[in-house]
Amino acid sequence: MKRETSRSYTLGELAERLDARLVGDADLRVDGLSTLADAGPTDLAFLANRAYLKYLAATRAGAVLVHPAHGESCPCPRLELDNPYLGYAKLSRLFDPLVNQALRGVHATAVVAPGARLGERVEIGAHCVIEDGADIADDCVIGAGCFIGADTTVGRGSRLHANVTLYHGVIVGDRAILHSGCVIGGDGFGFAHDGKQWEKIAQLGGVVLGEDVEVGSCSSIDRGALGDTLIGNGVKIDSQVQIAHNVQIGDHSALAGCVGIAGSTKVGRHCLLGGGVGLSGHLTLADGVQVTGMSLVTNSILEPGVYSSGTGSMSNSQWRKNAVRFKQLDEIAKRLTRLERDIRDS
């Protein structure tokens, strides 16, 4: 379903914004973004992957964002630039109805403690609760039903969608985007065993998010036991992710959905963790490490590169036979060694 957007743009405006080469009518207006296959005459489409080149000739798009190499194949006006996918990303926010929404101030039902500080041009949604000492910087939008605990600070230009929870003593950097249901600053999982039962360790640290951090729906980032849990600048965290106490994530790393990171592990800069990846506690991952989906990492990884675990999937009947053999694998290896020796010695 196509959403209505509040604005349209001329190709000339968009070319200027992207510093792209415009071929065609600079006054042509587009009011949406679309794929080559689905675009209509007022949409801007883009070609960012050769697999979609086959759709270019027949696209009904009003205009197309392309690499110069494919410019000649366009049946319509075009914006040429070296990285059309990046160009699409840069333009996409122009068409986001939320981004273009007028600010609505502090809703009458919001409960803002007298000791909280609100910056300029801040929107606080209905039924928000902002505790004492909290500090919401300029140009923030805090969605309905959010809770912002005591002494927590939210940096300039951040957006919290509805029903986000920030505990006390959390620091969120500028331009954060926090999605609904995410919880930042809940207690880390820390207990001492007294021989019979668990004694809770109060989690006295906080959470610090750098600038330009995004956190997906229903994700959780726990507060540190003593020091803080640290999320670097530009880190992107998908939905259903769990980050335990005192974890550190280096700048510009990206964590896909359902990732879980145990306590005190340090992930480097520019790392990529695939969906469902698990990292044990107290590990170090170097800068530039990539881990493929649902892999478990139980040892530090000190060299950049791509890492994996698991078996790959197969039919259940095939799998059953092989999984049984996995339990015999050490024995199989020993039998093989014995056989090699017997033959060598015979």
Q: Is 35 an interacting residue with respect to its own copies (CB under 8 A)?
A: yes
Do 307 and 295 touch, CB atoms closer than 8 A?
A: yes
Spatial separation of the C-alpha atoms in residues 209 and 234, rounded to whole Å: 9
**Short-list 260, 251, 293, CA closest to 278:** 260
Residues linked to residue 339 through DSSP beta bridges, in sequence order: none
Judged by CB under 8 A, the residue of 17, 68, 252, 288 near its own copies is 252
Q: For 325, phi and psi rounded to 5 degrees?
A: -65, -30
Do 47 and 56 touch, CB atoms closer than 8 A?
A: yes
Instruction: Give the residue with the Cβ less far from its own copies, 26 or 104.
Output: 104
Stretch that binds its own copies, among 19-27, 66-74, 134-142, 313-321 (CB under 8 A): 313-321
Residue 34 gets which letter from DSSP? Answer: E
Residue 104 gets which letter from DSSP? Answer: -
Site string for its own copies, 1-30 (x = CB under 8 A): x-xxx-------------------------
Give Cα separations from 288 to 140, 176, 295, 304 (angstroms).
32, 23, 16, 5
Stretch that binds its own copies, among 12-20, 23-31, 66-74, 205-213 (CB under 8 A): 205-213
- Which residue out of 245, 252, 270, 282 is catalytically annotated? 245
Token pair listed for 12: 């000339």
Judged by CB under 8 A, the residue of 9, 204, 284, 287 near its own copies is 204
Give Cα separations from 72 to 20, 68, 78, 222, 237 (angstroms).
15, 8, 10, 52, 39
Instruction: Give the residue with the Cβ less far from its own copies, 25 or 187.
Output: 187
Q: Is 140 an interacting residue with respect to its own copies (CB under 8 A)?
A: no
Judged by CB under 8 A, the residue of 62, 77, 149, 210 near its own copies is 149
Spatial separation of the C-alpha atoms in residues 273 and 59, rounded to whole Å: 35
Q: Is 217 an interacting residue with respect to its own copies (CB under 8 A)?
A: yes
Spatial separation of the C-alpha atoms in residues 296 and 301, rounded to whole Å: 12
Instruction: Give the residue with the Cβ less far from its own copies, 26 or 86.
Output: 86
Q: Tell me how far, at minimum, the Cβ of 323 lies from its own copies, in Å.
A: 5
Instruction: Give the residue with the Cβ less far from its own copies, 74 or 255.
Output: 255
Q: Tell me how far, at minimum, the Cβ of 325 lies from its own copies, in Å.
A: 4
Q: For 161, phi and psi rounded to 5 degrees?
A: -70, 175
Q: Is 248 an interacting residue with respect to its own copies (CB under 8 A)?
A: no
Instruction: Give the residue with the Cβ less far from its own copies, 73 or 309.
Output: 309
Instruction: Give the interface size with its own copies as a residue count (CB under 8 A).
Output: 143
* Site for its own copies, residues 255 to 274, rule: CB under 8 A: 256-258, 260, 262
Is there a catalytic annotation at residue 245? yes
Q: Tell me how far, at minimum, the Cβ of 76 lies from its own copies, in Å.
A: 18
Which residues are catalytically annotated?
245
